[in-house]
């Protein structure tokens, strides 16, 4: 069953009427209702297109968090063949908030890592809602170093509200683990491409998003803090999250204009959750193009390209 966001209520009502009429037709209703169904379908499609053409930053935040939005496991299944997951940081334990391994992307061997939020209560708890502990980032470093050793490009998929802020994570060196992961990415001599598929939150995101090419899905968000967190700090009022979202410039469109990211992957009308396969295919095409752009560079050029990209952010802003 499709889940609707609050601002999608007009579309939800139209689509509910379509389903109601279809049910009448399936029950053998003598009156032909095909014309009514077609008319309502067109009206619903137009309403959806109009709604998503002018989403506010806060509405994009809600779309980025949509429970039916495709997650890392979906992108991995749709884009990576022969995927072999690896576990553990070889220091403390396994962290399932970050999944990582090796496989083939459209025939090319690659290292793949991504944050997984989970799609139901059981998997969300298992993956800790995509909020990694230090072990997750140390696992990412281990695999990235292995990829660098064997000359394999690194693909990362970002989807987290932020790194796990628990006491035990701090005791085991959360900040140091994030810094080491960021450092490892900056030093890679192989191309790396990062795609923000949902939420890109704070250091938890940048730890696996310090890439030669940083892409975002059309309705994803990327910021140093959540809108709710920013509102609590700035105004002592989390209810002003909408104001924070607008002022923080967290949308893909704002970040492309500011030079923070390198490209936007267009989503199906109504968001990636409406047609996950189309969204995943579009993401794959964008990643393939990004890898092609980096394909003729040597290790030194790759490092210089990455360093220049992030230095330019500070110079321009």
Domain boundary assignment for the chain: 6-54, 61-312
Report the pLDDT averaged over residues 21-25.
Answer: 75
Residue 30 has pLDDT above 50, yes or no: no
* pLDDT tens figures, 169-215: 999 999 999 999 999 999 999 999 999 999 999 899 999 999 999 99
Kindly report which listed range (22-26, 95-99, 131-135) carries the lowest average pLDDT score: 22-26
Q: Give me the residues paired with residue 224 across strands.
A: none
- What percent of the chain has a predicted confidence (pLDDT) above 90? 84
pLDDT at 28: 62
pLDDT at 32: 64
pLDDT at 29: 57
Distance CA 165, CA 131 (A): 8
CA 150 distance to own-chain centroid: 27
At the second CATH level, the architecture of 61-312 is Alpha-Beta Complex (3.90)
pLDDT at 109: 97
Strands 98-105 and 80-86: antiparallel
DSSP codes joined into one string, 214-277:
EEEETT-EEESS-HHHHHHHHHS-GGGHHHHHHHHT-BHHHHHHTTSSSEEEPPPTT-TTTSHH
pLDDT at 31: 57
pLDDT category at 20 given cuts 50, 70, 90 is: confident
Residue 6 has pLDDT above 60, yes or no: yes
Spatial neighbors of 210 by CB under 8 A, at least 6 apart, are 182, 185, 186, 194, 306, 310
pLDDT at 126: 96
* pLDDT tens figures, 237-296: 988 999 999 999 999 999 999 999 999 999 999 999 999 999 999 999 999 999 999 989
pLDDT at 27: 66
Residue 307 and residue 187 in contact, taking contact as beta carbons nearer than 8 Å: no
User: What is the chain's mean pLDDT, rounded?
Assistant: 93
Distance CA 304, CA 89 (A): 28
Residue 57 has pLDDT above 70, yes or no: yes
Residue 26 has pLDDT above 80, yes or no: no
* pLDDT tens figures, 198-209: 999 989 999 999
Residue 92 has pLDDT above 70, yes or no: yes
Residue 34 has pLDDT above 60, yes or no: yes
Segment of 42-51, 221-230, 276-285 carrying the highest mean pLDDT: 276-285
């Amino acid at each position: 069953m499709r889940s609707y966001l609050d601002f999608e209520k007009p579309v939800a009502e139209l689509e509910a009427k379509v389903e109601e009429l279809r049910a009448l037709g399936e029950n053998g209703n003598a009156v032909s209702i095909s014309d009514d169904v077609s008319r309502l379908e067109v009206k619903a499609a137009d309403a959806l297109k109009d709604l998503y053409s002018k989403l506010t930053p806060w509405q994009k935040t809600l779309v980025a968090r949509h429970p039916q939005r495709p997650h890392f496991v979906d992108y991995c299944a749709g884009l990576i063949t022969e995927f072999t997951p690896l576990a553990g940081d070889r220091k403390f334990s396994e962290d399932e908030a970050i999944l990582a391994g090796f496989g083939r992307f459209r025939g090319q061997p690659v290292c793949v890592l991504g944050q997984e939020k989970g799609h139901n209560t059981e998997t969300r708890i298992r993956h800790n809602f995509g909020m990694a502990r230090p072990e997750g980032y140390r696992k990412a470093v281990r695999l990235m170093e292995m990829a660098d050793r064997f000359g394999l490009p690194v693909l990362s998929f970002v989807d987290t509200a932020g790194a796990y802020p628990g006491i035990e994570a701090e005791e085991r060196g959360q900040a140091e683990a994030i810094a080491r992961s960021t450092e490892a990415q900056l030093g890679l001599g192989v191309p790396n491409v990062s795609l923000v598929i949902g939420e890109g939150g704070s250091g938890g995101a940048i730890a696996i998003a310090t890439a030669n090419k940083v892409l975002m899905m059309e309705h994803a968000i990327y910021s140093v803090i959540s809108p709710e967190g920013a509102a609590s700090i700035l105004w002592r009022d989390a209810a002003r999250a909408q104001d924070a979202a607008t002022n923080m410039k967290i949308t893909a469109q704002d970040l492309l204009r500011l030079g923070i990211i390198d490209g936007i992957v267009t989503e199906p009308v109504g968001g990636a959750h409406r047609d996950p396969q189309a969204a995943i295919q579009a993401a794959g095409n964008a990643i393939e193009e990004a890898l092609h752009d980096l394909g003729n560079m040597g290790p030194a050029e790759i490092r210089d390209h990455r360093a220049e990209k992030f230095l330019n952010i500070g110079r321009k802003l």
